[in-house]
Homo-oligomer: A and B are copies of this chain.
Amino acid sequence: MKMVFNNKRSFMKSEFEQGHHWCRHRVKGCGFRMTIGREAVLDVLSRTEDHLSAEDIYMLVHETYPAIGLTSVYRTLDMLVNIGLVYKFDFGDGRARFELAEGPKGKDHHHHLVCTGCGRIVNYRDFIDEEVALLKKTEEGLSKKYNFAITNHLIQFYGLCEGCRKK
């Protein structure tokens, strides 16, 4: 899986040309240039179900594209969050975590269950439909009453997983 590239161009062509067309178009459509670093960050995000921190992403991208700098990872993530391609979460451990807004197989709306003991995060899709239905209704009511244009919501459950409960 790990590969070494002689130069940046060979890296770019080899594996990324295939996927993430929509992402790339979105980035360019928003007036940003599609660079190797940005492509690599998107690629890392698209290959995982985990909730990676900026440094996690930096280290993963670094494996195949060592020229990347942590600063650029932060800047790229910031841009991707701004154009809505990536979600940024705070699970209470002092570092932001990131997730592709649209999963590899299309829409993949889920919410999070966080273990306050070990930090483990479960993506759950159960009850999502009911939750989203209620959220939509709530959203409409709140929009009207408080005159907000609601763009997003966040639902998380906190608790202790089995392992952490035994301590």
A161 within 8 A of B: yes
A66 interface residue (CB < 8 Å to B): no
Docked CA distance A115–B151 (Å): 10
The interface-forming segment of A37-45, A67-75, A127-135 is: A127-135
Q: How far is the CB of A55 from chain B (nearest CB, A)?
A: 17
Q: Which residue of B lies closest to A161 (CB)?
A: B148
Asked if residues B148 and A152 are in contact (CB atoms below 8 Å), the reply is no
Residues in B whose Cβ lies below 8 Å from that of A92: 88, 90
Q: Assembly of this chain: how many copies?
A: 2
A3 on the B face (CB < 8 A): no
Query: In the complex the two chains form, what is the Cα distance from A145 to B157 in whole Å?
Result: 14
Measured in the bound complex, the distance between the Cα atoms of B160 and A152 in whole Å is 10
Let me know if B150 and A159 touch, CB within 8 A. Answer: yes
Residues of B near A158 (CB, < 8 A) are 150-154
Flag if B138 contacts A127 (CB, 8 Å).
Answer: yes
* A15 contacts partner chain B, Cβ-Cβ < 8 Å: no
Asked if A105 lies at the interface with its beta carbon under 8 angstroms from chain B, I say: no
The 6 closest A-B pairs by CB, nearest first: A150-B159, A148-B159, A152-B158, A147-B162, A127-B138, A90-B90
